[in-house]
Amino acid sequence: MTAKQKKMLLRILVTAALLVALHFVPGSNGLRFALYLVPYAVIGWDIVLKAVKGIGNRQVFDENFLMCVATMGAFAIGLLRTGDYEEAVAVMLFYQIGELFQSYAVGKSRRNISELMDIRPDYANIEIDGKLVKTDPDEVAVGTVITVQPGEKVPIDGVVLEGSASLNTSALTGESVPRDVKPGDEIISGCIDMSGVLKIRTTREFGDSTVSRVLDLVENASSRKSRSENFISRFSRWYTPVVVFGAVALAVLPPLIRLASGADPAWGDWIYRALTFLVISCPCALVISIPLSFFAGLGGASKAGILIKGSNYLEAMAHTGVVVFDKTGTLTQGVFEVTAIHHSPLSEEQLLEYAALAECASSHPIAASIRKAYGKELDLGRVSEIEEISGNGVTVRIDGKSVAAGNDRLMERLGIPFTPCHHTGTIVHMAIGGDYAGHIVISDKVKPESAQAVAELRDAGVRRTVMLTGDRKAVAEQIAGELGIDEIHSDLLPQDKVSRLESLLETKSGREVLAFVGDGINDAPVLSRADLGVAMGAMGSDAAIEAADIVLMDDNPRKIAKAIRISRKCMSIVYENIVFAIGVKVACLVLGALGIANMWLAIFADVGVMILAVLNAVRALFAGRDDG
């Protein structure tokens, strides 16, 4: 509890004690009026002050004003009619209890959620004169060597110099599968070293390291407001004046009507009802619980290794109807392997040598697999005139001879007759000196979890799954069949993917959201074009974290379905709160207008609704826990 809150608690206790004491004190009406002013002043002076300031600043119709009017009205009724002042003070007392509880509950929830997300390491160990000194990670310059011992969190991104260990990445990915690192490997901050002592040379500053960036991302996510939150803001802006006019009408119209029809106007009754009406009307429960639900939902998702960059994206994810996948690296491992070599006049090794040299400058995974299959060192001096033709392949000069390595399109372009392959897989045709030299078959492996991931998506309510790939139709069809994907678009050049996505966007129905899932590195334009861009395997990839709306820290495709489930749960909590808060309020307002509810009930209802809404909101934090 903060100091402010403790002072308020004291005031509440004193007022309650005074109320109880005064209950037993007899006296004339005037005396009791004066006596009851004491606890009223103790508990209510700041509300009255704020109301006065409010009027001065032309902010007349706020909560403080309503409370003052209501309680002073109750005092007036006591003075003129009932002689009962308890109600007036009690109303103010309960209001302040409600405010205190709100402040405490929200502060506590906020702190709990923030702490849960706090994966930031507090210190870095630097070896000075043979001893390890704990240093503030902010002060560690790039290129410094830090030491991480078993059980400690890696504080800053870097490269392992010495030592090997098993790392617990659950703080970032939510998965407890360990990763091993050895000298030469890159290591990410936020992971916990489970087994060995590591010496790491930092490659970034603390503020730039993965863990800091992840935390900033999650923290700022709640600043991007969702449509529900904007609705609540607008709602509460017109709600208060409407309620005030309603109360005035309630106080004035029925008595006037009764007066006109000759009956006793019963001003007192109707004014009392109007005051109760005002007291019930406070929209706090709604205004507090909705942002809190989103905050908790964002926090819960980040614990599961799903970083959502804004409340609006969380909201959108719950309506995902179409999921478009990029094949390589998302559904498949993106690790290509040479599986066969056909129709080559040269020996396999010779062909691979030419192919590896031709692909020496390419960063494409296919090129990497060819180089890996060749296995030996490449003399780059033999290669010249490298020309990479996007979507087709590469032409080079090796030892003076012209060599081409690429797909069907490249062969057609160069006018070289080729032998197509009946195997599924990516085919790299080779042509040496203008003559066809056979082809190399390269296959990518589907991730073991992909099939289950697609099934889970369907369970989570996704209507359609689509796969986009630059690969051949045969390969695409085989994989789609294996995984149960509805629609495929193959043989796509990189620029085709964007236009294909745009035509898919046109086939959406209603409020459906289209999500695109890719690896972020070369999918940036497609990611930004989709309603929701989801980047996978993003641990360590800045480009992915920047380009996507939702970032999955590891590369398990099942996380997509999990993200949808979490967002659905969070949204259902939000809607529950909206319906509950508005519903109970309206019911109480009606009861108050009819005279069935008195002020005690009114305040109780207000505080009760608020407590329940806040508790319900915090449930969103655990949305990711129950499933696997």
Partner 1 sequence: MKKTYKIEVDCANCANKMESAAQKTAGVSGAVVNFMTQKMTVEFEEGADASAVMKDVLSACKKVESDCEIFL
* Active-site residue set: 326
Query: Which of residues 59 and 495 has its CB atom nearest to partner 1 in the complex?
Result: 59
Figure out which of the listed residues 28, 57, 176, 503 binds partner 1, where binding follows CB under 8 A: 57
Can you tell me the distance from the alpha carbon of 93 to that of 81, in angstroms, rounded to the nearest whole number? 22
Q: What is the per-residue binding string for partner 1 in 230-259, x denoting contact by CB under 8 A?
A: ---x--xx----------------------
Which of these ranges, 57-65, 341-349, 373-381, 544-552, lies near partner 1 under the rule CB under 8 A? 57-65
Can you tell me the distance from the alpha carbon of 434 to that of 424, in angstroms, rounded to the nearest whole number? 26
Figure out which of the listed residues 11, 32, 153, 225 binds partner 1, where binding follows CB under 8 A: 225
Query: Which of residues 292 and 431 has its CB atom nearest to partner 1 in the complex?
Result: 292
Can you tell me the distance from the alpha carbon of 311 to that of 550, in angstroms, rounded to the nearest whole number? 11
For residue 176, the SS3 value is coil
Which of these ranges, 52-60, 174-182, 200-208, 491-499, lies near partner 1 under the rule CB under 8 A? 52-60
Helix, strand, coil abundance in the chain, percent, nearest 5: 55, 20, 25
Q: What is the DSSP string of 45-82?
A: HHHHHHHHHHHHTT--SSHHHHHHHHHHHHHHHIIIII
Which of these ranges, 49-57, 84-92, 355-363, 574-582, lies near partner 1 under the rule CB under 8 A? 49-57
293 neighbors 577 (Cβ within 8 angstroms): yes
For residue 586, the SS3 value is helix
For residue 395, the SS3 value is strand
Q: How far is the CB of 58 from partner 1 (least distance, A)?
A: 8
Position 50 contacts partner 1 (CB under 8 A): yes
Query: Which of residues 228 and 426 has its CB atom nearest to partner 1 in the complex?
Result: 228
Residue with tokens 């007066």: 259
84 neighbors 29 (Cβ within 8 angstroms): no
φ and ψ at residue 597, rounded to 5 degrees: -100, 135
Q: How far is the CB of 578 from partner 1 (least distance, A)?
A: 14
Judged by phi (left if over 0) then psi (alpha if -120 to 50, else beta), residue 185 lies in beta
H helices present in 166-226, as ranges: 170-173, 210-221
Which stretch of DSSP H or E encloses residue 320? strand 320-326
Packing angle, helices 86-116 and 29-56, rounded to 10 = 50
Query: Which of residues 219 and 512 has its CB atom nearest to partner 1 in the complex?
Result: 219
Q: Which residues of 516-536 are buried (b: 16+ CB within 10 A; e: fewer)?
A: bbbbbbbbbebbebbbbbbbb
Position 135 contacts partner 1 (CB under 8 A): no
Can you tell me the distance from the alpha carbon of 358 to that of 367, in angstroms, rounded to the nearest whole number? 9
276 neighbors 66 (Cβ within 8 angstroms): no
Cα torsion for 311, 316, 317, 322, to the nearest 10°?
A: -160
How many amino acids of this chain bind partner 1 (CB under 8 A)?
Answer: 27
Q: What is the per-residue binding string for partner 1 in 87-106, x denoting contact by CB under 8 A?
A: ------------x--xx--x
Site for partner 1 in 102-131 (CB under 8 A): 102-103, 106, 110, 113-114
Which of these ranges, 150-158, 214-222, 430-438, 542-550, lies near partner 1 under the rule CB under 8 A? 214-222
Figure out which of the listed residues 175, 219, 449, 491 binds partner 1, where binding follows CB under 8 A: 219
CA 354 to chain centre: 48
For residue 360, the SS3 value is coil
Figure out which of the listed residues 1, 20, 27, 59 binds partner 1, where binding follows CB under 8 A: 59
Of residues 303, 319, 320, 236, the one with CA closest to residue 620:
303
Figure out which of the listed residues 18, 32, 63, 513 binds partner 1, where binding follows CB under 8 A: 63
Query: Which of residues 63 and 519 has its CB atom nearest to partner 1 in the complex?
Result: 63
Q: How far is the CB of 295 from partner 1 (least distance, A)?
A: 4
Q: How far is the CB of 101 from partner 1 (least distance, A)?
A: 12
Of residues 35, 622, 535, 584, the one with CA closest to residue 307:
535
Q: What is the per-residue binding string for partner 1 in 332-371, x denoting contact by CB under 8 A?
A: ----------------------------------------
Q: How far is the CB of 294 from partner 1 (least distance, A)?
A: 8
Task: Name the DSSP letter for residue 204.
Answer: S
Q: What is the per-residue binding string for partner 1 in 285-314, x denoting contact by CB under 8 A?
A: --xx--xx--x-------------------
Q: What is the DSSP string of 100-128?
A: HHHHHHHHHHHHHHHHHT------EEEEE
Can you tell me the distance from the alpha carbon of 261 to that of 241, in angstroms, rounded to the nearest whole number? 30
Q: How far is the CB of 65 from partner 1 (least distance, A)?
A: 13
Figure out which of the listed residues 28, 176, 223, 261 binds partner 1, where binding follows CB under 8 A: 223
Q: How far is the CB of 531 from partner 1 (least distance, A)?
A: 22
Query: Which of residues 283 and 520 has its CB atom nearest to partner 1 in the complex?
Result: 283
Query: Which of residues 49 and 380 has its CB atom nearest to partner 1 in the complex?
Result: 49
State both tokens at 212: 């800091």
Query: Which of residues 101 and 600 has its CB atom nearest to partner 1 in the complex?
Result: 101
CA 261 to chain centre: 61
Q: How far is the CB of 600 from partner 1 (least distance, A)?
A: 23
Q: How far is the CB of 114 from partner 1 (least distance, A)?
A: 8
Q: How far is the CB of 205 from partner 1 (least distance, A)?
A: 19
Can you tell me the distance from the alpha carbon of 561 to that of 304, in angstroms, rounded to the nearest whole number? 12
Query: Which of residues 44 and 470 has its CB atom nearest to partner 1 in the complex?
Result: 44
Which of these ranges, 187-195, 284-292, 350-358, 587-595, lies near partner 1 under the rule CB under 8 A? 284-292
Interface with partner 1 (CB under 8 A): 50, 53, 57, 59, 63, 99, 102-103, 106, 110, 113-114, 219-220, 222-223, 225, 233, 236-237, 283-284, 287-288, 291-292, 295
